[in-house]
Chains A and B, each alone.
Chain A
């Protein structure tokens, strides 16, 4: 018989994990239990993190927000700071899965699944979220783009988890957004997605641009050259077209059942047009 363990705090987690080093960790379960059902993985022990209070805090001090790994997508959707200051993340969780999936799935889980299609990831890349990883040995801070290095691949060491995300709140006036193409309007895995972070100077030119694409390569992708193209210029059709051409050459999408690589490449470029004012 398999066992399911529910540590109540970090101390219990470490001790249970020490006793069952091959245990699988479960956050919201929306990916893990599908993998178990399809026998893509087998586990003798599951350690369920849902009772650890420490992982379920959202704190904000005006300059930054820290989000516990076990915060659900719905909690993000309901959070006023996320809604008003982290629009791209708010828009992403609004189109992630479906209502019950959002009630169950967690931000830490979405990050650790490390799918290039994970909806929270492109926003976290443009927000340059930092992850606080914690293990019995202590904690360390890792930027999200260094945390994930391939599909399903993260730098988590044995006996290490994400404790929380730390995100610097964008300055007032910074515009962020998330644009997703899925096969339908809910319950959809991103065919291609784009998160943006734009800071404009007083003259309307772009002071800083951050762009991150989902489902356009093995991990979420940002391109400094493309972001540099926008620097100091004003958003226009022609500028976005130019950026799009550069992006189309850089993304590395795959063909699968949902879409062809070429279409994804073109989407990566054309989604930039969403930045044009209405």
Chain B
């Protein structure tokens, strides 16, 4: 894309150029979430402890690899979900086809495998006669445990706390009552699912961010952001982080959007890493500049010690004397290069077991830091039409410490609604390699009436490697609506629908399965 724009710019007589796809062109050409064919076998002991998993995952990457390899690696890493499983065989293939190209999409392989696994977990609990939440609580990892995929949980691990939070919520406690009160021709069910999402690129592609911060001559600060804010709000979070460390209010900052000419490369806004990686880099840059500012003040007079200085809005206060030195004065006393701090952050990586196929490791396996969540969906099925209505939705999420509750909720709510779309309507139809759903009237995404208000309960852990204890939550929301809704649909219909989305037509068929025999 950049190449095409570059060529266009050569002929634009100095005017800026941009590329604008029509909706149809966007449908035809942009990369999509990989269609996945998954075969799962899952076994447990009599006491409900998971014992064995065997699964085979085939991703259709279309005619070009794009990020198919890394997507597959993440799918494999998340294929055993949040559980301890002793004996595991996970294999995956990313195959070329004549279908349109698949690539990176929110969740990056995790939504597909969790859709499959979390349904298997419910089926197994059902076979065992065990409560599906108890079953998950029994098998979910704690810190120090090893996931079925072989990844050791060496960082904050809040899935048990998430499940316990759900267990205490009225949506879970009152579920039988709520189900019983279904209106005529409606069936109600409550479904749950649990899952996780790795933060960052994984070990092979270095997850590096470079933050740059400048004390301006007018006493304010400029943050040179290196990671694009596409609306998820990492920019305001950057200001929060810097404001906290430098003791300044929001209006003391000027935030420069990523600009290849002025800011430093910091990677993509993706992989649930945006605030985690750049925030860490920025934290370092702030500490560095703060130290320089205080050091400069110390050099302004005799007997001033750093310990006596407080960086406050617009000034540095010398606590013993009560004297304020304006930042404008300090900036004037600093050299240009001294007023600018740069800090590089490279995310720590996990070690992996030797049993992992080198090809998988090369594609970014495993992650060190994970966010966790469990979701609950209250659904109502119209027996006359098969239409599924999501009446209520609860998400308990461990995204570490919540830095900005509003932005946090935005990501959870938005991710869940995309996930509900994935579960119920979104169907990118291709026939003999040709795209059939080329517009918004045939590729159905949810509208405002199609989704409920979502209850989001943060289950905070403190992630020691994250800035102020946070972890990425950009993707985790999309991972669980599919299996939570599918588990509810299965309860209500007595049938497992093995192909997505769970369209009204498929649900109707499930409601009437076996009638013809």
Residue numbers of A with Cβ under 8 A of B are 181, 183-187, 189, 191, 257-260, 263, 266-267, 270-271, 273-274, 276, 278
| Neighbouring B residues of A260 by C-beta, 8 Å | 505
Given A184-B444, A184-B446, do A267 and B436 touch, yes or no (CB 8 Å)? no
Instruction: State whether A274 touches B384 (Cβ < 8 A).
Output: yes
Interface residue range, chain B:
20 to 34
User: How many whole Å from B53's CB to the nearest CB in chain A?
Assistant: 35
Instruction: State whether B450 touches A184 (Cβ < 8 A).
Output: yes
Instruction: State whether A273 touches B441 (Cβ < 8 A).
Output: no
Instruction: State whether A183 touches B185 (Cβ < 8 A).
Output: no
Instruction: State whether B184 touches A278 (Cβ < 8 A).
Output: yes
User: How many whole Å from A76's CB to the nearest CB in chain B?
Assistant: 20
Check if B429 is an interface residue, CB within 8 A of chain A. yes
Instruction: State whether B447 touches A189 (Cβ < 8 A).
Output: no
Bound Cα distance A77, B444 (Å)? 26
User: How many whole Å from A13's CB to the nearest CB in chain B?
Assistant: 31
Considering the complex, give the chain B residue whose CB is closest to the CB of A188: B444
Bound Cα distance A186, B211 (Å)? 45
Given A185-B450, A187-B447, do A257 and B437 touch, yes or no (CB 8 Å)? yes
Bound Cα distance A276, B386 (Å)? 18
> C-beta contact mask, B435-476 vs A, less than 8 Å → 1, else 0?
011001110101111100000000000000000000000000
Check if B86 is an interface residue, CB within 8 A of chain A. no
Instruction: State whether A187 touches B384 (Cβ < 8 A).
Output: no
Instruction: State whether B442 touches A184 (Cβ < 8 A).
Output: no
Instruction: State whether A270 touches B385 (Cβ < 8 A).
Output: yes
| Neighbouring A residues of B503 by C-beta, 8 Å | 183
Instruction: State whether A271 touches B450 (Cβ < 8 A).
Output: no
| Neighbouring B residues of A191 by C-beta, 8 Å | 504
Instruction: State whether A263 touches B447 (Cβ < 8 A).
Output: no
Given A187-B441, A257-B437, A266-B508, do A181 and B385 touch, yes or no (CB 8 Å)? yes
Instruction: State whether B185 touches A273 (Cβ < 8 A).
Output: yes
Bound Cα distance A267, B505 (Å)? 10
Check if B91 is an interface residue, CB within 8 A of chain A. no
Bound Cα distance A47, B7 (Å)? 42
Residue of A186, A257, A258, A260 contacting most chain B CB atoms (<10 Å): A257
Bound Cα distance A244, B429 (Å)? 31
| Neighbouring B residues of A189 by C-beta, 8 Å | 441
Check if B387 is an interface residue, CB within 8 A of chain A. yes
Bound Cα distance A108, B166 (Å)? 53
Instruction: State whether A181 touches B387 (Cβ < 8 A).
Output: yes
Check if B171 is an interface residue, CB within 8 A of chain A. no
CB pairs A–B below 8 angstroms (22 shown): A181-B387, A181-B504, A183-B444, A183-B503, A184-B449, A184-B450, A185-B447, A185-B450, A186-B447, A186-B448, A186-B450, A187-B440, A189-B441, A257-B429, A257-B436, A257-B442, A258-B442, A263-B505, A263-B508, A267-B385, A271-B385, A274-B384
Given A183-B503, A187-B440, A270-B385, output 8 extra A-B contacts at Cβ < 8 Å: A181-B385, A183-B444, A184-B425, A184-B444, A184-B450, A257-B442, A259-B505, A271-B384
Considering the complex, give the chain B residue whose CB is closest to the CB of A270: B384
| Neighbouring B residues of A270 by C-beta, 8 Å | 384-385
Bound Cα distance A258, B425 (Å)? 10
Bound Cα distance A276, B512 (Å)? 20
User: How many whole Å from A156's CB to the nearest CB in chain B?
Assistant: 26
Bound Cα distance A257, B436 (Å)? 8
Bound Cα distance A191, B450 (Å)? 16
Instruction: State whether B384 touches A183 (Cβ < 8 A).
Output: no
Bound Cα distance A189, B508 (Å)? 19
> C-beta contact mask, B501-516 vs A, less than 8 Å → 1, else 0?
0011100110010000
Bound Cα distance A185, B386 (Å)? 14
Residue of B425, B505, B509, B512 contacting most chain A CB atoms (<10 Å): B505
| Neighbouring A residues of B185 by C-beta, 8 Å | 273
| Neighbouring B residues of A183 by C-beta, 8 Å | 425, 444, 503-504
| Neighbouring A residues of B436 by C-beta, 8 Å | 257
| Neighbouring B residues of A274 by C-beta, 8 Å | 384
Considering the complex, give the chain B residue whose CB is closest to the CB of A180: B385
Bound Cα distance A183, B440 (Å)? 12
Instruction: State whether B442 touches A273 (Cβ < 8 A).
Output: no
User: How many whole Å from A231's CB to the nearest CB in chain B?
Assistant: 24
Bound Cα distance A135, B250 (Å)? 68
> C-beta contact mask, B180-218 vs A, less than 8 Å → 1, else 0?
000011000000000000000000000000000000000
The 3 A-B residue pairs whose C-beta atoms are closest, nearest first, are A185-B449, A270-B384, A263-B505
Bound Cα distance A151, B490 (Å)? 38
| Neighbouring A residues of B509 by C-beta, 8 Å | 263
User: How many whole Å from B145's CB to the nearest CB in chain A?
Assistant: 41
| Neighbouring B residues of A271 by C-beta, 8 Å | 384-385
